[in-house]
């Protein structure tokens, strides 16, 4: 999976403190909602392939795991439950 470098930066920015799901998802939404990483908002990230929709969470989790090289912990929205 080839990711836009800005998406990689966004994920790394969001995972600097939060590594557990769903707290990581909440942090990503907060950062995107306020444009805290390079002014990127939901729409910008969606155009680059990063979705925050419930139907796209499986792909979002795969992206996070690809960038961080770690598995998202089993939680209510982990890949196993999607």
Q: pTM of the prediction?
A: 0.83
Q: Which domain holds residue 29?
A: 5-68
Confirm whether 80 is domain-assigned. Answer: no
Confirm whether 51 is domain-assigned. Answer: yes
Q: Summarize pLDDT for 28-80 with one digit per residue, the tens.
A: 999 999 999 999 999 999 999 999 999 999 999 999 999 988 776 554 444 44
How big, in percent rounded to 5, are the helix, strand and coil portions of the chain? 55, 0, 45
Say how many domains are in the chain: 1
Based on its alpha-carbon atoms, the radius of gyration of the chain, rounded to whole angstroms, reads 11
Choice between 20 and 81, residue whose per-residue pLDDT is larger: 20
Confirm whether 73 is domain-assigned. Answer: no
Confirm whether 77 is domain-assigned. Answer: no
Confirm whether 53 is domain-assigned. Answer: yes
Q: Summarize pLDDT for 2-22 with one digit per residue, the tens.
A: 899 999 999 999 999 867 888
Smallest CA-to-CA distance from 79 within 69, 60, 15 is with 60
């Amino acid at each position: 999976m080839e990711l836009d470098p800005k998406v990689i930066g966004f994920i790394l920015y969001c995972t600097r403190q939060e590594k557990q799901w769903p707290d990581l998802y909440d942090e990503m939404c907060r950062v995107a909602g306020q444009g805290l990483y390079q002014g990127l908002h939901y729409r910008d990230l969606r155009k680059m392939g990063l979705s925050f929709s419930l139907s796209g969470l499986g792909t979002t989790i795969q992206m996070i795991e690809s960038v961080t090289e770690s598995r998202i912990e089993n939680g209510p929205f982990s890949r196993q439950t999607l």
